Amino acid sequence: ILMLTADTNLEREEEGLAVGADDYMSKPVEPRRLASRVRALVKRAERRVLPADSIAPATPALE
């Protein structure tokens, strides 16, 4: 999650990151800088993906 906002307040950035944002940018944003941040986030997300054969099949929970 990349938060893109006009708010430059440091507390807002800290809040955004604390609630789950992976990155935070304040406008105005240079297009090249935005593109590089998006590429970095995509690379990070691709590393998190597990191969399908490494995921155990789901089993129903019994209560």
User: What digits encode the pLDDT tens for the residues 4-52?
Assistant: 999 999 999 999 999 999 999 999 999 999 999 999 999 998 887 766 6
Peptide bond into 31 cis (omega under 30): no
pLDDT at 54 over 80: no
> Residue 2 has which token pair?
């990349």
pTM of the full predicted structure?
0.65
- Give the model's pLDDT for residue 57: 65
pLDDT in tens, 21-31: 999 999 999 99
What token pair was written down for 56? 């155990």
Per-domain boundaries in the chain: 2-48
Which pair of tokens denotes residue 32?
């090249």
Q: For residues 9 and 6, what is the distance between their CA atoms, to the nearest angstrom?
A: 9
**What is the DSSP-derived secondary structure letter of residue 53?**
G
Reply yes or no on domain 2-48 having CATH 3.40.1000.10: no
